[in-house]
Chains A and B, each alone.
Chain A
Amino acid sequence: MSEGIAVNGYVSQQELEQSPGYPSLERLQQGPVAVIECPQEIPCNPCEQACPYQAITVGEPITNCPQLHEAKCIGCGVCIAQCPGLAIFLVDLTYSEGLAAVAFPYEYLPLPDVGQKVTAVDRAGKPVCEAEVIKVMNAKANDRTPVITVSMPREHATTVRSISCPGR
């Protein structure tokens, strides 16, 4: 078990970049792409069936870690709400000049509004920067797992994974 997740409760960026399927810098610079943060062998494979482009493989046994095939991933984000572990994110380094967009699952109330300024936090829940909510999706097919997309300065795209919940 990786040191990061076993003690800190989250993967380090370094561990993540070394895991198979983590998108290359080249792919990240092409447009939105999924980042799967699931480094342990647990019996789970809905992500494999969720992707309409077969860009995620788990195979047999289902304890295999999921692997992203970056060439097949078009960055649609369908996998985000389908992952029971809420461990998949979408990163778009090309969102706009100097800004990246990150999409993440968010199962709390209240849901923010599009246009709202929020505090983006990292994997440890630490505030990183101010971000703007650009999309809030809560499709029925996703069974109450809303997906929020925020835009923020590009350099924070590898660390931002949620927003701070008010009143915590």
Chain B
Amino acid sequence: MRAVDLAVVGAGPAGLTTAIEGAKRGCVTVVVDRNPKPGGQLIKQIHKFFGSREHQAGTRGVNIAQRLFREAQALGVTLMLGWDAYDIKPGRLEVVRTSFVELTSDRPAVPFRGATKTESINAEKIVLATGAEENAIHFDGWTLPGVMGAGAAQTMINVWRVLPGNRVLMVGSGNVGLIVTYQLLQAGAGVAAIVEAANKIGGYGVHAAKVRRAGVPILTTHTVVEARGDSRVTGAVIAQLDTSWNPVPGSEKTFDVDTICVATGLRPNTRLASLAGCQLSSSPVLGGWVPIHNNRLETTVSGIYVAGDVSGIEEASTALEEGRLAGISAASSLGKKGACDEEEIRTIDERLCNLRGGPFCQPIQDAKQELVKIGESACPKE
């Protein structure tokens, strides 16, 4: 049993910045993450980030994660890596160890051969920085080994340094599909094609341009209809779609691939938020069901906050900012304020506004504003 001021679920960009801001203001802070390595999705982003200098533009995501982890450790944040939060009530988290080795930051790794170990964490404030889950699309053979999320392939090549296969079909041309295609090429895999159901490419033109000049075709108005193979993928069949999204008979093409990566969007990982009783709102633009929150990132359950992709699918840059905001908010509600909290919050709000500017992000800006409007009446008042 542990007792802390602030418990953070998820050691990704949002979780780490939450912990850092909380710890800076004197909160006894613990971060829990089921993965053996901290950094969330940041550690797989080996490309240079966009944005501006304040948003770490030009820096590779993986380097940002290292910086944050060291900063959190230096501030005395306890990082429980390899621990999964499986139950939650206001003020209390239940966690279970997922690995056979102890991986906490305040003790060296020790083999643990005992039975499953659980722990309870009493925390006045809990921030859920649980990120996102990859969506799947269903087609014949979609459950075969070799069909995986694009993020899964990215984890394999950039964290584990292992190829998921030798020849890939990428389904989806949003930024995830485009970036992971590029990274598969860098790791030495071949990518036969990217198929995109819509009639235009979903992600940034510059990401598309990189893979196009590497010779990867992007087939708009196409989708995958079958994964072939007995115990693993040995081929993929694609077809053209008509304007009603139906496959056009006779348009099928077969690709000789051993891997199919699905990059068809992310949805907020709201499992713990739901368990805790947080009200959710349906927002397709933000990825699906999203916990209602106010502008201080507090949910409809007092003492439980959200930050990062769980509060709406966006970017690493917005996750970093929202984490800071959640950390400041949670600490402030415990009476632990920083000397310039108001100014810092204003700066964060401005930066979030800038990040959400431009035609690509306007719908997200609108959706977040709508969510927060609901939150202003549904969430606890300060």
A interface list, Cβ under 8 A from B: 1-2, 5-11, 37-46, 49, 61-63, 82, 84-87, 107-109, 121-126, 143-145, 161-162, 164-165, 167-168
Q: Is the CB of B57 within 8 A of A42?
A: no
**Nearest-neighbor residue (CB-CB) of B202 within chain A:** A6
What residues on A are CB-neighbors of B57 within 8 Å? 44-46, 84
What residues on B are CB-neighbors of A37 within 8 Å? 206, 209
Convert B351-368 into 0s and 1s, putting 1 for each residue whose CB lies closer than 8 angstroms to a CB of A.
000110111110000000
Q: Is the CB of B216 within 8 A of A43?
A: no
Q: Is the CB of B359 within 8 A of A10?
A: no
What residues on B are CB-neighbors of A1 within 8 Å? 200, 205, 359
**Nearest-neighbor residue (CB-CB) of A86 within chain B:** B210
Answer whether residue B213 sits at the interface, using C-beta atoms and an 8 A cutoff. Answer: yes
Q: Is the CB of B190 within 8 A of A107?
A: no
Main secondary structure on chain A at its contact with chain B? loop
Given A62-B354, A122-B213, A165-B214, check contact A85 B207 (CB 8 Å). yes
What residues on B are CB-neighbors of A107 within 8 Å? 186
Measured between C-beta atoms, what is the minimum distance from A90 to chain B in Å? 15
Q: Is the CB of B49 within 8 A of A125?
A: no
CB within 8 Å of A: which of B255-273? Answer: none
Q: Is the CB of B53 within 8 A of A49?
A: yes
Q: Is the CB of B201 within 8 A of A6?
A: yes
Answer whether residue B48 sits at the interface, using C-beta atoms and an 8 A cutoff. Answer: yes
Q: Determine the distance from Cα of A63 to Cα of B365 in the docked complex, in whole angstroms.
A: 14
Q: Determine the distance from Cα of A164 to Cα of B185 in the docked complex, in whole angstroms.
A: 12
A42 partner, pick from B53, B58, B212, B358, beta carbons under 8 A: B358
Q: Is the CB of A6 within 8 A of B205?
A: yes
Among B58, B205, B207, the one with the most A-chain Cβ atoms within 10 Å of its Cβ is B205
B interface list, Cβ under 8 A from A: 47-53, 57-60, 185-186, 188, 190, 199-201, 204-216, 218, 220, 354-355, 357-361
A84 partner, pick from B47, B208, B212, beta carbons under 8 A: B47
Q: Determine the distance from Cα of A62 to Cα of B54 in the docked complex, in whole angstroms.
A: 12
What residues on B are CB-neighbors of A122 within 8 Å? 213
What residues on A are CB-neighbors of B59 within 8 Å? 143
Known: A10-B209, A41-B359, A164-B215. 10 other contacts (CB 8 A): A8-B212, A10-B212, A11-B209, A38-B205, A41-B358, A123-B213, A124-B213, A125-B212, A144-B60, A165-B185
Q: Determine the distance from Cα of A43 to Cα of B59 in the docked complex, in whole angstroms.
A: 15
Q: Is the CB of A87 within 8 A of B58?
A: no
What residues on B are CB-neighbors of A109 within 8 Å? 186, 188
What residues on A are CB-neighbors of B60 within 8 Å? 143-144
B201 partner, pick from A7, A43, A144, beta carbons under 8 A: A7
**Nearest-neighbor residue (CB-CB) of B211 within chain A:** A9
Q: Is the CB of A43 within 8 A of B212?
A: no
User: 22 A-B Cβ contacts within 8 A?
Assistant: A1-B205, A2-B205, A8-B218, A10-B208, A38-B205, A41-B360, A42-B358, A42-B360, A43-B361, A46-B58, A61-B358, A63-B358, A84-B49, A85-B206, A85-B209, A108-B186, A108-B214, A125-B212, A162-B213, A165-B214, A165-B215, A167-B188
Q: Is the CB of B214 within 8 A of A7?
A: no
Among B209, B220, B357, B360, the one with the most A-chain Cβ atoms within 10 Å of its Cβ is B209
**Nearest-neighbor residue (CB-CB) of B50 within chain A:** A44
Q: Is the CB of B185 within 8 A of A43?
A: no
Q: Is the CB of B200 within 8 A of A6?
A: yes
Q: Determine the distance from Cα of A61 to Cα of B355 in the docked complex, in whole angstroms.
A: 10
